[in-house]
Every structure is written in C-alpha cells, then in structure tokens.
A and B are shown apart, each in its own frame.
Chain A
Amino acid sequence: EPEVTQTPSHQVTQMGQEVILRCVPISNHLYFYWYRQILGQKVEFLVSFYNNEISEKSEIFDDQFSVERPDGSNFTLKIRSTKLEDSAMYFCASSGRPSSGYTFGSGTRLTVV
C-alpha cells in the first residue's frame, strides 16, 4: 500500500536554528498538509498546499514557517528560527482528492533545546 514517508524520524535542534522537515507524499496525490501534535495535546492543523501554493494556513503557521514542493516529489516544512514551544511531533499528510481522506506519514519528532 502506498505510504507517506517522513524524514528524519527524530530531530534535535538548538533554539534559534533553522530546521527542514521532509516528506514524500503518495505519488499521485494532489493535496498536501502539515499538522503538529504537542505531547499530550490535540493534532493541530498547520497548512494545506495545492497546485503549488498554500490553500489554507492556521494561526500557528506564522512567518517563521514556510512550505515548499521543490521537485515534484518532496514536500518540506521549514521553521526559520526554532523556539522551545516548537517541540512537537510533525505529521505530513496527502490526499488524492478531498473526498478520499488523508494518508499520514509516521511523523518527525522535533525537540528544540
């Protein structure tokens, strides 16, 4: 069964550093998403991406965050200057069409120290 692949599985970074989280969505999917889950809390929406542009973003997704689909297969989330409160599990998801639901990756655990 097709999978969404995320790398790395765990990343530790110092506060103020830039991080890039990588995702390879399912190849024929058109909609891409990033979510995050702070330990013990709900899964929260960050951003959705369709047709090479952001279609929706949450209040969390401020100027420190950006997304890119650089080469037609990867989908990346960049955090420019990490803060302690950015520590969370970050999930990438993709969808072929809105009615087909999401497929999630296994996540990247980001720890900011």
Chain B
Amino acid sequence: KQEVTQIPAALSVPEGENLVLNCSFTDSAIYNLQWFRQDPGKGLTSLLLIQSSQREQTSGRLNASLDKSSGRSTLYIAASQPGDSATYLCAVGLSNTGNQFYFGTGTSLTVIP
C-alpha cells in the first residue's frame, strides 16, 4: 500500500523567504503526483501536476520537482507572502486507469508579515 509522508508537518517563515516542502512516497511506481493547497475549512486547490516522466513543473513562484527513483517530490516556494499561508498537500496516483490518489499528511505553512 502506498504511504505518503510530508515533512515538516508545520513551518513558520518570515515574509520574503524561499522555502521547500517535502513529500515522500513508499512505492516509486507512480503515474503522477499533484500538489494542492488547502485553506482552513476549504476545498483543495490544485497547484501543480507532475507526470511520472517529468522532473519538474513550474507555475509562477512555485516549482515542484519529482525524483521517482528515490520516492520524493519537493515544492519550492519563492519569495513567500502572507497569502501563501495554508496547508500544502501532495497526492500520488498509481495508475493510468483513473483510480485513487494517495494523500500525504500535509504541511501547514505560516508566512509572517
């Protein structure tokens, strides 16, 4: 069974700092990996999707990388802002048949003005 872990569980940084969130998964035979943002009591907003054949994806100040062989992905946030405060979740998909994503435990990020 796929286990997805995110480290750290919580992170507090001053505004403007660059930061890295980590995601690790136990089964490297993944199909794709998706990073989400979740605001308190709200739904999941997709940030970046990486296919298993890709090494990284970028969107604005966000960059996600994938190292399938080592079972790791990182989400890099440049020049953090207070509006980036949220919980960040990674989720891995194992197959091309559209079945379940396995979610990580999440990293709660606070950016201090």
A residues contacting B by CB (< 8 A) are 6, 30-31, 33, 35, 42-45, 48, 50, 55-56, 58, 89, 91, 93, 95, 97-107, 109
Contact = CB atoms under 8 A, between A and B. Distances in A.
Interface residues of B, number: 27
Nearest to B93: A98
Interface string B31-42: 110101000011
A101 B49 contact: yes
A99 B100 CA distance: 12
Contacts of B93: 98, 101
A48 B106 CA distance: 22
Interface of B: 31-32, 34, 36, 41-46, 49, 51, 89, 91, 93, 95-106
A55 B46 contact: no
A43 B46 contact: no
